[in-house]
Structure 1
Amino acid sequence: MTQHAAVTAGPEAATSSKPGLREAEAPSAEAINAFYNGMMPYWHPVLAEADLPDGKLVRVELLGVGIVLARLNGAVVALRDLCRHFQARLSLGEIIDLDGLQQVMCPYHGWSYGADGQCKRIPQLLEGRKIPSNARVDSYKVTTRYGLIWVCLQDEPKFDVPDYPEWGDSSFRTVVMKENEPSKTSSIRMIMGTLDDTHFPWVHQGILGNRDEPAAPDHRVWREGQYLVLQYDVEQPPNLATTDMSAAGVDQIEKIALRYTDYVGMPNVIRLVKDSAAGRYVVWLATCPNSYNQTTNFWAFSRNYDMSPERDSTYEEFSAHVRTQDKPIIESQRPWLLPPFWSQIELPLGPADKPLMEFQRWLEELGIVSGI
C-alpha cells in the first residue's frame, strides 16, 4: 500500500476578501487543508458492503479524494480513482482476469492494476520493455466491519474502527437506516449535532424533550482511550427510543427515566446508549467525510426490548422522522467546519455545552480544527 500525500484544497476553497461575509462562504484553504489532513489517519466508512457486488467497480469520495472500490481475488481493495497514464477514472473501467488474478482495467487505454496499485499490463508496451516502476496508483488500507467498508488514507491508522458491541449480538434487534443522499455539512458537524443533547426540547419537542423544561442535564464528560464519553440522567416522553411502547399501561406514563452514555469514537463515529427500565436502545452513526461540506451517513439502531422482527419497520420510520427534524438545521450551520475557539465565531456556554466544548477541544488537539 502507498501512502497518500497531504491533501491541498482546490479552487472551491477560495473566499472573498470582504469583511463580515465569512459565515456565508467556504472555509479558508488553511481550514480545509487542516480538516482533510487531520482526518486522514483514521478509518472512515465509505460504502455498505452490500453495495459492492462482485465483478463491479464503485467510486466513492473521501476527504476530496476519488477512490475506486472493487473485490479482487476475494478481497475488497481501494485504489485512487485516476489512471497513472492520462488520469481517466478507473471506476469507468472493468475487472479483468490477467494470469489468473483479477485486475482493474482503465477504460481509456487498457492499463490494468493489481490490488497493490501497481500496473500489471500496458497493452501498447513494446515487446521486451518492462512496465515502469512508477506506473502505479495509490492503494489504501481497507477493512470491513458492521456491514460497511472502511478506508484509511494513511498506512497506520491512529485509532481502531470504533466499537459497536450490539452489532451481531443476538440479544438485540438492529435496524439499519439508509439515507438517500449525502448531507450538506461536514462530518464533524454531524457528530457534534448528534452529541448535542440540549437541542432535544427545541428540535424534537414531545419526542426527546419538552420546551417547558429546557434545563440542561448534569453532564459528566471524560476521555477513555480513543473515546470521548458523556453520561447524564434525564427524563423524556415515552416513545420507541425510550421504552417498550407495546407494553401494557405504557400510554399512562408521562415520563421515562433514562441514563445516556454517549461514546464518540474520535473523530467520526458516535454511539448513543440509552438505558431505561425497559432495556437498552442504541443510536449508532458513522460518518464519511466526502468533502468539507458533504457527508455520507451510516445509521444503525439497536434495541433489546420489543424484539419482534415485524416491528423493525416501525423503528426505522421513527428514526427517519427524528433524523428529518435534525437535517435542515445541521445543514444550515456556517461555517461548514468548526471554527476554533479563539475565533469567537461561535459562543458555546458552559456547563450546558460542556460535551461539545470537550469534543472540539480534542479536535483542535488532533489538528482537525485550526483555522476559519
Structure 2
Amino acid sequence: MSGPNSQYDPVEVSALDPANVEAAVDAALQAIAEASTLEELKAVRPAHQGDKSPLALANREIGALPPTAKADAGKRVGQARGRVAQAMKERQAALEAERDARILVEEAVDVTMVPGRLPLGRRHPVELMAQRIADIFVGMGWEIAEGPEVEAEWFNFDALNFDADHPARQMQDTFYVDPPQDGLVLRTHTSPVQARAMLERGVPLYVGVPGKVFRTDELDATHMPVFHQIEGLAVDEGLTMAHLKGTLDRLASELFGDGITTRLRPSYFPFTEPSAEMDLRCFVCQGRDPDCRACSGTGWIEWGGCGMVNRNVLAAVGVDPDRYTGFAFGMGIDRALMFRTGVSDMRDMFEGDVRFNAQFGLEV
C-alpha cells in the first residue's frame, strides 16, 4: 500500500497537474504567436481563454481541493492564465498597429490631386437637331407650335383633304387607338397642327412644328415606326411658290452650309396643290459619282415634301382661300441628322447606346 501524498489531497485531478498546466500555457502562447490577423486571433481566444479551455477547466477544479492545497494550485493556475492573457493583449496590440499602418497606406487620400469627374450627360442628338431647326425658324421670325401625339382622325385626315377611302387611313399604315371607332390615331405626320394652328391663332400665320410621328413602317436602316418631323406652315396674303422655294433654300443653307443646291420635283399630297418633293444636291459626291451610296448615283437626295396649301384645307378651318394663300412643307428630323452627320443607320439613333450620344456633345 502506497504512502500518503504529502503535497496534494488524493481528490486532486489531472487538470491541475503542473505538467498539464504548463503544456496548456505553451499551446496557448504558440497559437497566439501564429495568429497573423485580428480575425485569426479572435478565433484563438475561445480555445485558450474560453470557458471550456484547459486552463479554465483547471481553475474550476480548484474548488474541489482541500484548503491546504487550494492556495498553491490557485497561484499556479492564476499565473498561467495571466501569462496567456498578457500574450493575447500584446499580440492584439501588435496586430492592431499593423492594421492601422496598412489602412493609412491603402486608404490614403491625396488632397492635392485633381478629382476625377463623372462624364456629363448629353441631350439626344435628334432633340438637338430639332432645337437647331426650331432656332432657324425663330430666326426667320416664325413661331413654334405644338400639337398632341394622339390625334383626332378629323385633324389627321379630314381637315387635310384626305378622302374617306384614302390608303393612309388603313390600319396597315396608321396606328389606331382602341376602340378604332372612336376616331383616335397616333398622328402620322405633324400636318394636323396646320389645322389646329389656323383655328387657334388665326391668319396671317407663320409656324414651325417639330414633333414625333408614328407609322406602321418596318424597322430598317432608313425607316422607323416612330420618327420625327418638322412642319412649316405660312398663310398670308400673296404667298406663292417663290416664297416656298426661298424659305426651303434658307433652311437648307442654314443646316447644310452655303452653296447647297435644291430642286423641286412635281408630286402629290392631299393637303397641298400644287405639290412637290424637295431634293438636295448630294453633298458627298456632288452628282459626280455613279456609285455614291448617299444618293445611289442620282446626284440628288430626297429631303421632304412641300407645296401650296390646298384651298379645301383653308376652307375646312374657316380661312378664306380667295384672300389668303399659304405654303407648307415637312422634313424628317432624323433624316436631316443623317445627312448632316453621316450616320448611315437610323437604328443607331434609338438603341440607347450612350457612346452614340457622346460623340455629339452639346451641338450637332
Query: Would you call these one fold, judging by a TM-score over 0.5?
Result: no
User: Greater relative contact order: 1 or 2 (C-alpha under 8 angstroms, separation 6 or more)?
Assistant: 1
Which has the higher Rg, Structure 1 or Structure 2?
2
Write 1 or 2 for the structure with the bigger share of helix: 2
TM-score (ref. length: structure 1) = 0.23
TM-score (ref. length: structure 2) = 0.23
Write 1 or 2 for the structure with the bigger share of strand: 1
